[in-house]
Amino acid sequence: MEKDFIEKTDLVAVQRNNKYGYIDKTGKEVIPLKYDFTFGFFDNNKIARVQIANKWGVIDKSGKEIVPLQYDSIGLFENGLAKAELNNQTFTINEQGQIVKDKKSD
């Protein structure tokens, strides 16, 4: 089953010395192992949520930061949108990191 998973994804998260990054199917490092955590690629294998120093952001398959690592949390993207939290305020962001809707904190 693990082989099937690897064959269906372009990049696989790896951890070394408590840092995460991504390798391709040949084992070549594609995205440096610099993240404290990642949930792996999703949304048709296009983007991944990553964390450094308790701040979350989103990268693309080249490792480019498409949502800055500034949020306290970022939820799953559905239909191109996700909930993000910063300083006890919740926002809806798109895959480019733009705030499309904000909600006052309770």
> What percentage of residues in the chain have a pLDDT greater than 70?
85
Q: How many domains does the chain have?
A: 1
At 7, the pLDDT band (50, 70, 90 cuts) reads: very low
> Mind listing the pLDDT tens digit for each residue in 15-53?
999 999 999 989 999 999 999 999 888 767 789 999 999
CB-CB contact of 74 with 84 (8 Å): yes
Residue 63's domain is classified under what CATH number? Answer: 2.20.25
Q: What is the pTM of this model?
A: 0.83
Range of the domain at 32: 2-103
Single-letter amino acid, residue 84: A
At residue 6, φ and ψ (nearest 5 deg) are: -65, -40
- Token pair recorded at residue 54: 């308790």
- Token pair recorded at residue 38: 């990642």
